[in-house]
């Protein structure tokens, strides 16, 4: 009927239900342009579909990174799936070359840190250097107002980084290096959803990735045996395993391949009939030794060292947290939230005071939270 306004039918969620800002600029006819990082997985696919439904001018982008020659190439398969999603949604598809940035900022960084006897988090650096670095510059230079990813995290109206609704999938731990400026031009379309809801939406949108399994492992590289990966760049060197008394009780293939808390990767040769499980509590890369202990003795022997932890390269997303305020921290992805306070802040360093002894390795990220708001974090010295 002439003059009758066509009613919009939403396949997934309406813009209000999706909790996404509308893609229509207030008082301006131009749609907001958002470049979505299409990884070839279900989360980024649904992100693109939700943004399109919310009224954005969506462009799908596959971010191509570095892959060692000796690792089975899978990025071409992922790019094919990303292209299929873009074709299904009828959106433009581009490719962003982030190979150099990934090699230098993620892979080389990871290898160098392990050589120094530290335990880095490559996913944190991947987000900083690639997804919210190279990708944003690529998008901005092509007229984008926003970039979007399939991370399970949320951004408040006050530009605060918050945990994802699905606590089993929350990825805010990997995003602690982001700033308010980063968040101002970033969208996390699935952050307010549970994974089960994302899967259902993928089916309702008819996306070709609806039943695809979740990717695992290191950012862009996938499942990775770290010892095997590092052995291509560092020659294995047999060393000794010590107990807390300094006695030789076993052997290993290289201290750099092991991190604090590891329960595997070494062999105990002096065993008793009722020995507890051992895990790494210290290592000396120069001497190529590791020290192992049981959990009970570690709490007594290492409690002072592991209660007050200094972190460096700190980033505070919305200003420095209050000294002495009760907050919580994660020392590893999906680890337990541990009660703590910040006892000191000086320049880009801080001291985190835990109520109970915590086993962490230098190079690990400690991420701090006040409720469901991510305050930022730092790297263990």
Q: Which two tokens stand for residue 58?
A: 């969506």
Question: For this structure, is 219 an active site residue?
Answer: yes
Q: Which of 96, 219, 314, 374 is catalytic?
A: 219
Question: Which residue in this structure is represented by tokens 């790297």?
Answer: 379
H or E element in which residue 289 lies: strand 289-293
Query: Residues 20, 124: contact at Cβ < 8 Å?
Result: no
Helix (H, G, I), strand (E, B) or coil at 256: helix
Dist CA 22 CA 368 (whole Å): 31
Query: Residues 310, 357: contact at Cβ < 8 Å?
Result: no
Query: Residues 165, 193: contact at Cβ < 8 Å?
Result: yes
Helix (H, G, I), strand (E, B) or coil at 109: helix
Question: For this structure, is 314 an active site residue?
Answer: no
Question: Which residue in this structure is represented by tokens 């398969």?
Answer: 77
Query: Residues 188, 153: contact at Cβ < 8 Å?
Result: yes
Q: Phi then psi for 141, rounded to 5 degrees? A: -65, -15
Query: Residues 73, 67: contact at Cβ < 8 Å?
Result: yes
> Residue 116: which region, alpha, beta or left (left: phi > 0; alpha: psi -120 to 50)?
alpha
Residues recognised as catalytic: 126, 219
């Amino acid at each position: 009927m002439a003059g009758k306004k066509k009613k919009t039918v939403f396949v997934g969620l309406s813009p209000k239900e999706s909790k996404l800002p509308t893609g229509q600029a207030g008082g301006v006819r131009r749609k907001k342009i958002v470049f979505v990082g299409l990884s070839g997985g279900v989360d980024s696919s649904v992100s693109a579909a939700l943004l399109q439904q919310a009224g954005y001018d969506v462009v799908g982008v596959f971010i191509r990174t570095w892959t060692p020659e000796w690792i089975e190439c899978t990025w071409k398969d992922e790019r094919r799936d990303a292209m299929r999603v873009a074709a299904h949604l009828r959106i433009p598809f581009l490719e962003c070359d982030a190979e150099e940035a990934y090699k230098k900022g993620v892979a080389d960084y990871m290898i160098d840190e392990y050589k120094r006897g530290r335990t880095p988090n490559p996913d944190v650096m991947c987000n900083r250097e690639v997804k919210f670095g190279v990708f944003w510059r690529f998008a901005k230079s092509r007229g984008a107002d926003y970039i979007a990813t399939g991370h399970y995290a949320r951004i408040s109206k006050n530009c605060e980084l918050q945990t994802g609704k699905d606590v089993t999938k929350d990825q805010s731990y990997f995003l602690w290096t982001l700033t308010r400026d980063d968040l101002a031009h970033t969208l996390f379309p699935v952050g307010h959803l549970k994974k089960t809801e994302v899967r259902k939406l993928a089916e309702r949108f008819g996306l070709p990735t609806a039943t695809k399994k979740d990717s695992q492992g290191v950012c862009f590289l996938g499942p990775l045996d770290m010892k095997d990966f590092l052995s291509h760049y560092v020659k294995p060197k047999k060393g000794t395993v010590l107990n807390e008394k300094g006695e030789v009780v076993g052997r290993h293939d290289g201290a750099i391949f092991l991190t604090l808390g590891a329960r595997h990767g070494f062999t105990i040769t002096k065993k008793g009939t009722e020995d507890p499980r051992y895990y790494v509590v210290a290592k000396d890369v120069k001497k190529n030794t590791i020290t192992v202990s049981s959990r009970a003795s570690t709490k007594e022997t290492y409690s002072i060292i592991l209660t007050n932890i200094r972190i460096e390269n700190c980033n505070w997303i919305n200003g420095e947290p209050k000294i002495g305020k009760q907050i919580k921290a994660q020392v590893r992805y999906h680890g337990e939230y541990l009660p703590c306070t910040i006892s000191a802040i000086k320049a880009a360093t801080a001291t985190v005071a835990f109520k109970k002894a915590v086993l962490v390795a230098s190079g690990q990220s400690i991420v701090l939270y006040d409720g469901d708001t991510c305050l930022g974090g730092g790297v263990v010295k």
